[in-house]
Amino acid sequence: QPLIGVLAVQGDVREHLYAVEQAGARATTVRRPSEVAAVDGLVIPGGESTTIDKLVRIFELRDPIRQRIDEGLPVYGSCAGMIMLADRITGGRADQETLGGIDITVRRNAFGRQVDSFEEDLHIHAIGGAPMRAVFIRAPWVEECGPDVEVLATVEQGPAAGRVVAVRQGRLLATSFHPEVTGDHRFHQLFVQMVRDARAGARATTR
Ligand code: GLN
């Protein structure tokens, strides 16, 4: 079984560890560079992206994670994790940096004060089956996508209808919402499959 790390500097780490295990992989926390090196995939949880940004630098995780992303490590980011994977932010603090990797611009806290948290059922082709309950908590949305970015889900109702809230580019996956809090592990299963495929690919090329 692949070993999937959950970046454990801030945010809802425990929920992701549980969801990864329910999705059929082994899960471990990642707080040190040596732990970044040991995993087959990485989850960046929801939380506060300005804080996660600061702590990945203090813990000297920023460069090792960026390097592994460049080398093709599968990474899944939810909410603040989506912000960390975005190449560009709008509405962030001036000194806020991301890890980058996905050719998107995200808008932080995009849904505004009145609906800053809400839930909606989304039809997501990439995971199939029944619509998925999506929980948004002071969530970002994706404002612009580059040509290599695959849109997996958009908001379907209300004033934000049409806004992009789930994307994939290569081995990087990101959602504005939090599948780790709903008990529906299909998004984590999709990610675990991406990790398995990456490992199979790596084995094939070293032969
Ligand atoms: N608003 C948070 C941020 O900008 C994200 C919220 C979340 O992860 N639930 O980082």
Q: pLDDT (tens digit, 9 = 90+) per residue, 24-82?
A: 999 999 999 999 999 999 999 999 999 999 999 999 999 999 999 999 999 999 999 99
Task: Determine what percent of the chain is predicted with pLDDT higher than 90.
Answer: 89
Tell me how far the alpha carbon of residue 28 lies from the centroid of ligand 1, in angstroms. Answer: 22
ipTM: 0.95
User: Does 125 score more than 80 pLDDT?
Assistant: yes
Tell me how far the alpha carbon of residue 51 lies from the centroid of ligand 1, in angstroms. Answer: 10
Q: What is the pLDDT of residue 92?
A: 65
Among all residues, which ones are annotated catalytic? 79, 178, 180
34 is an annotated ligand-binding site residue:
no
For the chain, domains (ranges, CATH) are 3-206 (3.40.50.880)
Tell me how far the alpha carbon of residue 50 lies from the centroid of ligand 1, in angstroms. Answer: 9
User: Does 207 score more than 60 pLDDT?
Assistant: no
Q: What value does the mean pLDDT take over residues 188-195?
A: 98
Ligand 1 atom nearest residue 12's Cα: 8
Q: Which of 48, 142, 143, 175, when mutated, tests ligand 1's pocket best, judged by the most ligand atoms within 8 Å of its CB? A: 48
Burial class (CB in 10 A: 0-12, 13-18, 19+), 14: middle
Q: What is the pLDDT of residue 128?
A: 87
User: Does 113 score more than 80 pLDDT?
Assistant: no
Interval 82-105: pLDDT, tens = 999 999 999 766 778 999 999 999
Query: What is this structure's pTM?
Result: 0.96
User: Does 206 score more than 90 pLDDT?
Assistant: no
Is residue 87 lining ligand 1, measured as CB closer than 6 Å? Answer: no
Is residue 85 lining ligand 1, measured as CB closer than 6 Å? Answer: no
Is residue 138 lining ligand 1, measured as CB closer than 6 Å? Answer: yes
